Structure 1
Amino acid sequence: MWAGRAAAYAGSFAKLCAYPTRQLLDAAGVGPGERMLDVGTGPGTVAAAACARGATVTAVDAEPTMVQLAARSAPAADVRVAVLPELPFGDGEFDAVVANFVLNHVGRPTVALAELRRVVKPGGRIALTIWAAPPAAGQALLGRAIQAAGAVRPPHLPAGIAPEDDFPRDERGLTGLMESAGLREAACETVRWDHRTSAEEWWSGPAAGVAFGGQMVRSQTPRIRAEIKRHFDLFSSEFADGDGVLTLPHAALLARARR
């Protein structure tokens, strides 16, 4: 779903996902001299912010074009291709591990978390974010348009998480997931913010096939794609001010724990 889409992501959804960067690094206790791993770094936003704090940063992503972009964004970091749940690092190699909106995209989140636990040192910190469910109104905009247009899920898209591997996307559910992965002192809070963007910028990600929603859009017939765009424009007007700028409410879960 992400192959070759780093630039499209950076120009659209990356700005949204950058919002909790400071809180994420604070939750992981990232500061000068800390050895930090940023898993699923995307365009390198969190890695660059950690470098600015004086941390020694390693960043990984499964998508090579994301790695290229992150290497430019965070030139002081060691950026490389790597895929959960098999990270190319030794046990206890890092003081802190962060994952910004990554567990949304793995099929077995408990297994992924266990790998994050493996590579952080005893007593080390793990901090992560995921999208809350049910989604906030701004987050649900594209999904509403896809549903209203009668789009059909194509067979090539991943089926999602199996029921036995899924968990409630709320504070208690994410805390329980971290505890089930053997982490201690797990805690979770909800972070809410309004993302301001134009309708054109917000549509550019799905139009380019970014993430699951974008793949849903790109996989439809021309008629259904046009219907999705028509409903997107209609629903976007609910969030637009007099200048056409959208104010999109979002909510994410921010969790922290120790090995």
Structure 2
Amino acid sequence: MFTQMTFKALEHRGWSERARIYDHYSGRFCRFGIAALIDAARISRGQSTLDVCCGTGEASLAAAARGAIVTGIDFSEEMIAEAKAKGGNVDFQVGDAEALIFDDAAFHRVINNFGTLDLADPDKAIAEAARVLKPGGRYAYTVWRGPDVSPLFRILPEVVSAHGTLDVDLPPAPPLFRFADREEAMGALSAAGFTDITFAGIPATLDFPLAELSDFFHHAFVRSTMVLERQEPAARARIEEALGESFQPFTENGIVHLPLPALVVSATRA
């Protein structure tokens, strides 16, 4: 049963299973945040930079292309293997965002591209980012905005609730959109010793064939896939049919053009 595993263990298993297909699914929309992330962190040539939750390494490689000296860490050995296979001048390592192995004040910059959503203890990870940053160093993360503005994150729970149940045997998880909330983000960052906190929107649109909707949801996400897999077969069939209907207003010529707004949040280590 899922409840016998921790949230962290389930996230680790889910992303490890997706490592080889990550770039085709999740990576297609996580790339939206990379340029904004690197700009917000003010990454430039010669700066030591840590990419936390680096996945298959796209943000790490982009930072290295700016001339930074980059280390990328991820808790999944499979993700790190995929990142290393891309080559590039990045030191990729298996590592835990909530217990970094690096010395205090080791980096000029720390970045996290949509990885905060997958952490069991994001406050601890933010505190660790502050610890390994040099005074005056810059931290930046990207995060999806919530159901108040994002059709994807509004439609999915509504459809599941209407045709199945959200009450499945999953372990407790941190609030998905907590760090897209300005008050929550400022509180957590300030508590970790950050100042000069800034927020900027990232407009993005996710395009995919409507016919591949079920395949996309199964492979692109971990949390939602766990919920869908715990539905009764008949309920899951109804959910998938209703999702297709719900995405029709965003579909043209068989292609879904789904707004997927995000935020980049950045701050300076005091």
TM-score with structure 1 setting the length: 0.89
Tell me which moved more, 202-211 or 182-191: 202-211
1:18 is paired with a residue whose SS is helix
Distance 1:74 1:222, change over 3 A: farther
How far 1:142 moved relative to its partner? 3.2
**1:97 and 1:126 in contact (8 A); partners too:** yes
Of 227, 232, 238, the residue aligned with 2:249 is 238
Q: Which residue of 2 aligns with 1:161?
A: 174
Q: Which runs of 5+ in 1 are unaligned?
A: none
How far 1:167 moved relative to its partner? 4.5
The letter for the 2-side match of 1:249 is P
Output aligned runs, 1:197-216, within 5 Å.
197-208=208-219, 210-216=221-227
How far 1:74 moved relative to its partner? 4.8
2:260 is paired with a residue whose SS is strand
Looking at structure 2, the residues matched to 8 and 143 of structure 1 have their Cα atoms a distance apart, in angstroms, of 25
**2:71 and 2:92 in contact (8 A); partners too:** yes
Looking at structure 2, the residues matched to 168 and 126 of structure 1 have their Cα atoms a distance apart, in angstroms, of 14
Of 135, 146, 161, the residue aligned with 1:147 is 161
Tell me which moved more, 80-89 or 216-225: 216-225
Tell me which moved more, 101-110 or 38-47: 101-110
The letter for the 1-side match of 2:157 is G
1:91 is paired with a residue whose SS is coil
Of 75, 81, 92, the residue aligned with 2:105 is 92
Looking at structure 2, the residues matched to 251 and 74 of structure 1 have their Cα atoms a distance apart, in angstroms, of 31
How far 1:47 moved relative to its partner? 0.9
Q: Which residue of 1 aligns with 2:184?
A: 173
The letter for the 1-side match of 2:261 is A
**1:175 and 1:255 in contact (8 A); partners too:** no
Of 249, 252, 256, the residue aligned with 2:262 is 252
Q: How many residues are treated as equivalent by the alignment?
A: 254
Output aligned runs, 1:67-86, within 5 Å.
67-86=80-99
Q: Which residue of 2 aligns with 1:127?
A: 140
Q: Which residue of 1 aligns with 2:203?
A: 192
Looking at structure 2, the residues matched to 101 and 65 of structure 1 have their Cα atoms a distance apart, in angstroms, of 18
**1:170 and 1:253 in contact (8 A); partners too:** no
2:17 is paired with a residue whose SS is coil
The letter for the 1-side match of 2:59 is V
Looking at structure 2, the residues matched to 119 and 16 of structure 1 have their Cα atoms a distance apart, in angstroms, of 28
Looking at structure 2, the residues matched to 168 and 19 of structure 1 have their Cα atoms a distance apart, in angstroms, of 18
Tell me which moved more, 21-30 or 203-212: 203-212
TM-align CA RMSD: 2.1
Q: Deviations over 1:159-197 (max 9, x none)?
A: 1228xxx95632343223211211111111222222222
The letter for the 2-side match of 1:245 is I
Looking at structure 2, the residues matched to 62 and 199 of structure 1 have their Cα atoms a distance apart, in angstroms, of 32
Task: Point out the structure with the larger helix share.
Answer: 2
The letter for the 1-side match of 2:257 is T
**2:22 and 2:220 in contact (8 A); partners too:** no
TM-score with structure 2 setting the length: 0.86
Output aligned runs, 1:217-232, within 5 Å.
217-232=228-243
1:20 is paired with a residue whose SS is helix
Looking at structure 1, the residues matched to 240 and 178 of structure 2 have their Cα atoms a distance apart, in angstroms, of 32
**1:8 and 1:210 in contact (8 A); partners too:** no
How far 1:7 moved relative to its partner? 2.8
Looking at structure 2, the residues matched to 231 and 34 of structure 1 have their Cα atoms a distance apart, in angstroms, of 49
- Structure 1 segments, 4+ long, off by >6 Å, are none
**2:25 and 2:220 in contact (8 A); partners too:** no
